Structure 1
Amino acid sequence: MYNTIIFDVDGTLIDTEKAVLGSLQKVLRTDYDKVVPLEDLYFVLGIPGAKSLPQLGIRDIDRANERWNYYMKDFFHSIEVFSGIKDVLETLKGRDIVQGIVTSKTNEELINDFVPFGLSSYMTHTVCADDTERHKPNPEPILKFLEISGADQKKSIYIGDTVYDYECARDAGIDFGLALWGCKNHQNIQAKYKFKRPQDIIGVLY
């Protein structure tokens, strides 16, 4: 059914929730004297800092993003690859499935947060936040991926963990699979598939 599988990164391939939210809390507290409860920051998951930071009253976006990335290093120990992901990527590679990434991370963030886990070699194409003018939930990142990869929309699926991922896939005209292992409020997110475990992805290849 699919010959191209496009992955989100945070909350889908690697578990970065503690690192992303913890470092953001630290930026807000240390640099802006703002104490924000964790539950009030969940909305930032899945969208670029340039879009989420203004909603927190931050105006110097570039500096705040730079500080956010700086503090991420303090939380790197909490990041891990979701159980089963590497086996799935290896299986897909063995079946000649094109694999790629569409992420709200910048290229620098991807290098810092994702590359160390050794999964980049499975990915033939990557679209980061600085590769497009508009970002999720706008469809431009996935459309960019389809353009550079030459993938067929009808044979491609995007797998992510947020409503932003769903909306991006929907408006790009490709199917969407929801990664329940990294998702919050899955009842409110539409998806063609809701995968309980990474291994369940293999079942949609036929």
Structure 2
Amino acid sequence: MKYKHIVFDVDGTLVDSELKVLSTLRQAVIDMRGVDHPVEDLGWAMGMAPEPILTKLGYDNVEPIIRLWERYLIEYQEPPKFFDGIEQTIMQLHARGVNVGIGTSRIYAEYLADFEKLPLYSYLGTAVCGDMVQKRKPAPDILLCYMEKTGASAADILFVGDTLFDLQCAEAAGIDAALAGWGTKLPASTACAYYLKRPQELLEL
């Protein structure tokens, strides 16, 4: 294994959470502003930080909407739906002595609400979430914070994500990036260190 740390994005990489993210966003906007943005029209928002999403939708004074959206995300009742092969791959990476980390724009409370009670949680190490840093992706802050917390160098880390924001975050931090082909909407020709068709391919690096 070339890398000592494999850091995963969450939404669209570990779990198929598009319905969760977009349906709670829709409901928060309805409840705060009385406007209905259909879920099928919001796919572009996946991977973006909350403020730019709401700004693009045409809203100002967005903090109250964001707080309500975060509450709905934490309270969401459906358990996370892992992509095929993710859980087994993480357990095998852990067994090989690879540090498995998390780098997500989610807030920490939402990450814990979904993962803390799952058996897989014990295999996950350092998590850096969007509310732990000044700037979310595509800024490098999440990965820079991960390096600061773990002492890992950029060369030690592979960041696995599904969006252009993930790739830009890794590039800005000087870290290799792998595109999660099982969850991404980006083409296989997208510039990155690795395009992975299946999570298990991480075990071959």
Query: Same fold, TM exceeding 0.5?
Result: yes
The corresponding residue for 2:144 is 143
Retained in 1: the 8 A contact 2:147–2:153? Answer: yes
Structure 2: distance between partners of 1:47 and 1:118: 28
The corresponding residue for 2:199 is 198
In angstroms, what is the RMSD of aligned CA positions? Answer: 2.0
Bigger fraction of residues in helix? 1
Structure 2: distance between partners of 1:116 and 1:7: 19
- Count the aligned residue pairs: 204
Cα distance change on mapping 1:175 and 1:73 into 2, 3 Å: closer
Per-residue CA deviation, residues 100-133 of structure 1 (Å, 9 max, x unaligned), is 1110001112122333444322222111111111
Q: Percent identity?
A: 34
3-state SS of 1:15 partner: coil
Cα distance change on mapping 1:50 and 1:119 into 2, 3 Å: farther
Structure 2 residue ranges without an equivalent (≥5): none
Q: TM-score, normalised by structure 2?
A: 0.90
State the Cα distance separating 1:85 from its structure 2 match.
0.9
The residue identity in structure 2 corresponding to 1:28 is: V
* Residues 1:134 and 2:140 are matched in the alignment: no
Per-residue CA deviation, residues 1-41 of structure 1 (Å, 9 max, x unaligned), is 11111110111111111111112122233432323243432
Structure 2: distance between partners of 1:70 and 1:171: 31
Retained in 2: the 8 A contact 1:22–1:75? Answer: no
Structure 2: distance between partners of 1:51 and 1:125: 27
Cα distance change on mapping 1:29 and 1:15 into 2, 3 Å: same
Structure 1 residue ranges without an equivalent (≥5): none
3-state SS of 1:176 partner: strand
Per-residue CA deviation, residues 169-189 of structure 1 (Å, 9 max, x unaligned), is 011111100001111133573
3-state SS of 2:60 partner: coil
Cα distance change on mapping 1:78 and 1:123 into 2, 3 Å: closer
Retained in 2: the 8 A contact 1:14–1:81? Answer: yes
> Superposed, which structure 2 residues align to 1:12-161 within 5 Å?
12-72=13-73, 76-77=77-78, 79-161=80-162
3-state SS of 2:59 partner: coil
State the Cα distance separating 1:70 from its structure 2 match.
3.7
3-state SS of 1:65 partner: helix
Retained in 1: the 8 A contact 2:180–2:196? Answer: yes
State the Cα distance separating 1:73 from its structure 2 match.
6.2
3-state SS of 2:25 partner: helix
Structure 1: distance between partners of 2:77 and 2:3: 34
List 4+ stretches of structure 1 deviating above 6 A: none
